[in-house]
Structure 1
């Protein structure tokens, strides 16, 4: 009898073949099986009832629980399938597009794009959701088959699913998986994995309906997108719905209009941000803080073009691996150019412009570099997902013995900057190669082991708690992801510290080592915010538009009670402006209550209310947007107060 060798953590077992993942977990750890939705086999996510491959010598089995990020993604993707199944049951003839889980969009958890026999309305959502709940209660099985391309095409042609056929033609080469839900007309072409039964889906809600185009192309089929959310428990869903209600009050798109910070105009293009003067002030302060910190840490500031020859992107690998995210080439004097999706190759060009010695390293280049991504229109969302954005990009070229110190300094930088903005909960995740040897990782085993150890030791040395995630490293190196939790408990993926074994090889980077031999430097990609635009959107919602004094586009509003105080008000404003403060004077003939209300709506940190008494005594009556009236004082005293607040970047 053939046997399969399986392991989980430190436990090993030999089980009779053939066997499924469930059989393996029963032999290894029955307790781990109890909470499992799916599993990773040698780092690859699979269904629990997947038959194990006898060609592998030893299989590492790692259960995926409902309370993990991977588990939540499986729940959401399975719920998207449940949505499609319910819709097919209610409206036979519905054509299906795609239905992914959404893990980075705090507004939703999944969607499905469909072409229904009739136009769907918001009134349909409760009906569809009711059908989903009925199917969930029936505890229907998700089933998987693996079949050849021709057979899959025959299945979907017979079902008159042209969009699925198009995807199969594009993506399948050989065999692929299809999924069924028992007792339902639903079939989908999908990689999986999924939950075992619809009964595993206990907490979900349909949220919204919008228009979409197939593949985001306005020339293609018009579809309807049904959005929903799903969690492992009803308690999590209820908490999220409360959070969502608060988030709607803080929506950066609404506050952006109210506070005159930015706009998006279809005449210029969706996903392209027009920064208004007040938004520009905040952006300047954001960049100023980062620049100050980087100067202290010995970074050099560089500037690079927005386009480059197409050949550069071939050398970097972007052309092969990222073409869908890039804009089409343009021809200039018989040479093709492309807009840059990333800044890395340009910084490499600066490094290569001179011979480098071991004494020259590290080289630290920083750039506020604008890049361009061909995002589909259906994915765009205010400042959070755009087509043109500025990355607070840095690339460090280091010797192997410098990795630890440079990563540690990047961590210090992240902690300092996010603390300045008032983010008390910063989370760190270390993504490593693990046992996922089949993912095409580049680089020598010893380089991976050393790099992972240095990243981990830098985190430990600083007393930073972190989650180690096996099998989630990029193919070209391990990384540290930085996430922050905002004022209402939402978690945002922002910064990354990424080691790269790939680009130094592709571009043949070198330095002369101490023994006079040529060596490859290591490359570290570092971005704190991910993009200035996205972080600005996070800040708007985190502060609910009420920026601290140092960031506020208008720091002081001067409010004369009557017109005869206008001259005094103007002199107060000029005095503050001459000391570098951002001031607006409300000279219009409105009642003081209306002026205060307007300043409150604009979320100005301080208001100076000036009447006859203040004019006579040469004082100012100070009002704070949160604390209300805080007293009468001399202008010098007020100026000293806000100067200290500004210098400390107080919150």
Structure 2
């Protein structure tokens, strides 16, 4: 017998050679039914995996992210099998699971249409009903190459040929279909209870635009049809909230063919942006940050010194000035570091918090661009904080509290992820361990639950990422806190300590919004364009019923504007119903309708975007309410 330690610390004994699925059944028949995969001693495993020695075991279900990935990875194989059955000459590329489902890349002479996706989906349903077992087998490298050449799978051959000569290559077989794959998978195709193909797009082989363009079919999979239906309903709602569509309708921004990936902010969009930036400045002034601004273009030598040349140059733009090489900054940190180096600093100044709304440029492939969510130039709400090692935990706690307070203003909930050292990192093991422990201790002291993303940190340090949840359940990665021992070393940063000697500071990189452009896009979709009153480009529209109230409407407009309220006056010769509908489509929070009665009584009739007709009130009462609402930055149930 061997001992298996479960996630809750309980130890159970099972026979040597037992499968993970046997252990799941021993724990609970209900768990066995829901199980999709496992982690044995922290490593990915399958329900088919045998246990031959004492270990820790975690059974994964669809409620676990890794369980979702296991199921959806299998769904991608089912998609590939269906495509090969319907279009035998198709060549397979890769087909991973992703956060929202899965995809598979295909090289084929046919162009997949929506009707063809329906046929492929029907074939997938047949394969699921057949409940085919997924059988793993391994081959030496040369035999693996031979097998894939026999099947004329050129892309698989290329992948295998890049592996070491002594590598053992794994495959998975389901029915007559075999695919190169490292796994893990669910035991059989029948575990995938509900599947839906969503779209098709172009994708370069291995993400390189020099390679052939393939067709990528996206899909998603669930263990219950009800979960799939709920997800598809969310997608429909997301389409209605698409920031590109709403941005056009509300005249907030444009992406023009003259500047792909370079957004143009229109006057109404600039109102939203300026309100956000004003709010950001207000909160950072309260938190004792000092604002700086650094150049967009700096010489190439700086980017060698910072490490960006070795780790990030494929995402950068370059130019020459007076025959000297320069780079357009993709990040603000080197500029902040040069600002720090402008003078000698004392420990008495620490923590020194330098904040910047800095415009950065990054080279993105055209296929990756998406409205203002993925652009080639954007403004990061950066801050770089310099401190002593002893100040790390206290300062991280202050940053976390600042980010939490800002997100609450918009009504966002969030979860936190801690990302650790990546493969292409720089610096010593000791510094990385100290930095990672510093972030971990801050999260634990403040009581935030977090998930660990192994190997997903920045090249210069570990990081905490904040993932916002919007009103329809989607998550967006926005805020980041990165603890950095490397940049101060590379730039030879110093401060004078209490002992009168020079010491090396520790540096924190952090953003709250992440990107102003992307955050606005998230807000547009979260609110469906109906911004809270404090953010709305137009807060009140005043509408007259007949020409006789024009002067009164203009007078009301002047009163509201004098109080700092963004008011617009609509005295066009149109029916009042038309004017109201148009204001509703523009998602204006409040509408004032004035007729002879209101004019004669020196009052206003108020309509709310949310609650409709609110009746007649004194002008002063309405001004008092809306100014209080704006000041409080209320985002929900704010109407009179």
TM-score band by shorter chain is: 0.7 to 0.9
Task: Say which of 215, 219, 222 aligns to 1:231.
Answer: 222
**Post-superposition shift, 1:96?**
2.8
User: Paired residue for 1:199, among 190, 206, 215?
Assistant: 190
Q: How far 1:208 moved relative to its partner?
A: 1.7
Match 2:239 to one of 235, 248, 262 = 248
Please name the residue that 1:466 is paired with.
Answer: 449
Cα 1:157–1:392 change in 2 (3 A) is: farther
Counting only pairs closer than 5 Å after superposition, residues 272-421 of structure 1 correspond to structure 2 as 272-324=262-314, 326-327=315-316, 329-421=318-410
Mapping of residues 577-592 of structure 1, within 5 Å: 577-592=561-576
- CA displacement at 1:318 relative to structure 2: 2.9
Could you say what secondary structure the match of 2:175 adopts? coil
**How far does residue 613 in structure 1 lie from its aligned partner after superposition?**
2.0
Distance in 2 of aligned mates of 1:545 and 1:37: 40
Q: What is the TM-score when the length of structure 2 is the normalising length? A: 0.87
**1:256 aligns to what SS in structure 2?**
helix
For the 8 Å contact 1:7–1:28, the answer to whether it is kept is no
Contact 1:97–1:113 at 8 Å: present in 2 too? Answer: yes
Q: How far apart, CA to CA, are the structure 1 residues paired with 2:322 and 2:428?
A: 39
286-295 vs 506-515, greater mean Cα deviation: 506-515
Gap runs ≥5 in structure 2: 636-640
Q: What TM-score does the superposition give when structure 1 sets the normalisation length?
A: 0.85
Q: Deviations over 1:381-439 (max 9, x none)?
A: 2222222222211221221211121111112112211111122x332334567xx9x99
Residues 1:458 and 1:440: Cα distance change in structure 2 (over 3 Å): closer
The alignment partner of 1:123 has SS state of helix
Q: Partners of 1:508 and 1:267 in 2: how far apart?
A: 42
- Count, aligned residues: 629
Give 2:88's aligned residue: 92
- Please name the residue that 2:258 is paired with: 267
Secondary structure of the 1:255 match is helix
Spell out, residue by residue over 1:613-648, the C-alpha distance to the aligned partner (whole angstroms, 9 max, x if none). Answer: 222222221111111121223333322221111111
Structure 1 portions without partners, runs of 5+: none
Change in Cα spacing, 1:166 to 1:504, as seen in structure 2 (3 Å) is farther
Secondary structure of the equivalent of 2:535?
coil
1:454 offset after TM fit, Å? 4.6
Aligned to 2:638: none
Match of 1:546 among 530, 537, 561: 530
Which residue of structure 2 lines up, in the alignment, with residue 221 of structure 1?
212
Deviation string 1:484-535 (CA, Å, 9 cap, x unpaired) is 2222222322212222233333334333333344433222221122222222
CA–CA separation in structure 2 for the residues paired with 1:530 and 1:154: 48
Contact 1:484 1:491 survives alignment (8 Å): yes
Asked if residue 129 in structure 1 is aligned to residue 121 in structure 2, the reply is: yes
Do the aligned partners of residues 118 and 595 (structure 1) sit closer, same or farther apart at CA in structure 2, a change above 3 Å counting? Answer: same
CA-atom RMSD, angstroms? 3.7
Structure 2 counterpart SS, 1:504: helix
- Structure 2 match to 1:140: 133
Q: 1:621 to 1:351 in 2, by over 3 A?
A: same
- CA deviations on 1:28-87 (whole Å, 9 max, x unpaired) are 996499566455577654666679999xxx987666544222332333333223212211
Q: Which shows bigger deviation, 577-586 or 540-549?
A: 577-586
Q: In structure 2, do the counterparts of structure 1 residues 305 and 168 end up closer, same or farther at CA, with 3 Å as the change threshold?
A: farther
CA gap of 1:27–1:627, structure 2 versus 1, over 3 A, is: closer
> CA shift at 1:593, angstroms?
0.3
Q: In the aligned structure 1, how far is the partner of 2:585 from the partner of 2:197?
A: 33
Q: Deviations over 1:257-306 (max 9, x none)?
A: 1111112122321x322211111111111111111111111111121222
Q: How far apart are the structure 2 equivalents of 1:165 and 1:515?
A: 63
